[in-house]
Chains A and B, each alone.
Chain A
Amino acid sequence: MTALKRKFVKGNEAVAMAAIEAGVQCYFGYPITPQSDIPEYLSRELPKTGGTFIQVESEIGAINMVLGASACGVRAMTSSSGPGISLKQEGISYMAGSELPGVIVDIMRSGPGLGGIDASQADYHQATKGGGHGGYRIIVLAPNSGQEMYDLTMLAFDLSDQYRMPAMVLADSVLGQMKESIVPNPRPKVDLPAKDWAVRGTGGGQQNVVKSLYLGDGEMEKFHWKMHARYQELADKESRWETFATDDAELIVTAFGCTSRIARTAIEMARAEGIKVGLMRPITLFPFPKKAYADLSSRCKKWLTIELSTGQMVDDVRLAVARDAEVEFYGRPPGAGSLPTPEELFTQIKKFC
């Protein structure tokens, strides 16, 4: 077997490369900083594979094209950032209601409103609590490196097809714009269920309808309970996380995305001074790895959540560990110059130890 060649690419390019490796057939998108490298790459490379690239008139149009292509059973995706992701929420809700797969990449920028293009984690709630109407969840994966931008994009396609729900790769402008060395791993072999629900235009036999309108007595309620059970199954089978130096930790720092990289450096600085501190990094934000948090909190009673916001994930951390531990919070709301340094986080760690 020949060794895979390393590539030195932006995180956004890693996402686009992974989408092609995952067999994406249709990409529909609209330019917005800091994610425009994704449509730029795919406009160049996707047609070479026989796929379709359309630069759409709006993010609303784009997500609805994803809905249409996905209803046909092909792998389809879109990408955007804050303001554009807000526009896509209508379509994401319809996709959730229609049990359609599809991958949405959100390279978070600051907000609300136009905000700015700096790294942000303030769209955590929008992503993980169902950003549109009606009460639903989507799969949310949070990479923290160029390699994970690649690997988790491929995973997003597989999980989305497996569980018939939209999946989001939730990253930020640091991860999207930073160049790192990655290994473009081949697409993992996964047994996925046949898409026998897709519209085919083959008539004759069974009519396939992709819809989210449920008017019959009890139909809508039944749908909600079915999805509720699916979310539980996701939590049981697909929760992913990474820990570092937690075995003897007296304080566990928890952070996702680019913040977890800065936190890890701060933890290494603390360990060098003999401070017993570890890191818990959720990789799936939905499902949130509650059980892993609970297990850790039975041993470690002090937690520090760090986010690029005034605190969103900290709510989920508190729910997961509240019975056993107290949770402190340190946040830097997104904006120019608000990315914390390792020294800054080290100071916070010392404060809570």
Chain B
Amino acid sequence: MKQVFSKPVSLKDVQTHFCPGCHHGSIHRLVAEAMDSFGIADKTIGCASVGCSVFLYGYFNIDVVESPHGRAPAVATGVKRARPDRIVFTYQGDGDLAAIGTSEIIHAANRGEKITVIFVNNTTYGMTGGQMAPTTMPGQKTSTSPNGRDVANDGKPFKMAELLSNLDGVAYSARVALNSPRNVLQAKKIIKNAFQYQVEGKGFAFIEALAACPTNWGMNPLAANERVGSEMIPYFPLGVFKNNENL
């Protein structure tokens, strides 16, 4: 029988620990497809972060450095400066990148480090059990905002793709979602672009991927997927916010 579908070669043929309906698996796949399309898996070094994304090395067929919480952009800077001919990316969640690691991401972006950052925004801390994240939506109930996020107390969610697009060092900044076939296909194109920037040595590329976390949202996978479209996208608009090929 003719094989019409297979796993990207950059991914291992293993089961993941991700919950049913979680979008990490889809994002892993798109990142791996981008690597396959450039044939770069054999020259790529991944920087894992802390949270559900820590097991990067369990799923990708690449060398990986595990970073302390939030520090992946600094670790990736060390890796890229030591091995400038390698493709280097970080894969971070919202608590990791937009809370404890705010300083590291802003400065790596501002230096224009030639790395690719995959930022998974699911509006909560997944691994630790659904606490309030810097991207938690106004009014969203979490285990540490039991009455809903109160913007008077906690401020409003960070819009990282827009924020980073304002820095001169950033070559590419975009937000994607995985909640529909159309958005997945668009995300695939944009994630590929983000790696192309690095393959061509053009500079810092940032992808924010809106993702469902059914377990911590207390929803079934279908309802969680629908929430991405009905609540998240209106607040976190999809699109390319920076596309500077002249860097």
Contact = CB atoms under 8 A, between A and B. Distances in A.
Interface in A58-83: 58, 60-62, 64-74, 76
Interface in A31-81: 52, 54, 56-58, 60-62, 64-74, 76
B81 A65 contact: yes
Nearest to B84: A52
A91 B68 contact: yes
A64 B78 contact: yes
B107 A57 contact: yes
Given A60-B71, A61-B103, A201-B45, A72 B79 contact: yes
A202 B67 contact: no
B64 interface: yes
B41 interface: yes
B52 interface: no
B195 to A, nearest CB: 14
B135 interface: no
A69 B63 contact: no
B66 A65 contact: no
A328 B227 CA distance: 70
Contact of A67 (B44, B67, B86, B87): B67
A250 interface: no
B42 interface: yes
Interface stretch (A208-216, A279-287, A294-302): A208-216
B158 interface: no
A157 to B, nearest CB: 15
A316 interface: no
A26 B78 contact: yes
Contact of A207 (B62, B67, B80, B107): B62
B63 A67 contact: no
Contacts of B111: 54
Interface in B97-116: 103-104, 106-107, 111
B66 A69 contact: no
B72 to A, nearest CB: 8
B136 interface: no
A60 B65 CA distance: 17
B75 interface: yes
Counting chain A residues whose Cβ lies within 8 A of the other chain, the interface size class is 35 or more
B14 interface: no
Given A199-B64, A203-B62, A209 B57 contact: yes
B54 interface: yes
Contact of B66 (A28, A72, A76, A213): A213
B42 A201 contact: yes
B68 A210 contact: no
Contacts of B103: 57-58, 60-61
B47 interface: yes
A203 B61 contact: yes
B83 interface: yes
Contacts of A76: 78, 82
B78 A68 contact: yes
B241 to A, nearest CB: 23
A256 interface: no
B228 interface: no
Contact of A65 (B41, B64, B78, B86): B78
Nearest to B75: A68
A76 B81 CA distance: 11
6 closest A-B pairs by CB: A68-B78, A203-B42, A64-B74, A199-B63, A211-B66, A65-B78
16 contacts: A26-B78, A57-B104, A61-B104, A62-B74, A64-B71, A65-B74, A65-B81, A68-B77, A68-B78, A68-B79, A68-B80, A70-B78, A72-B45, A201-B87, A203-B62, A207-B57
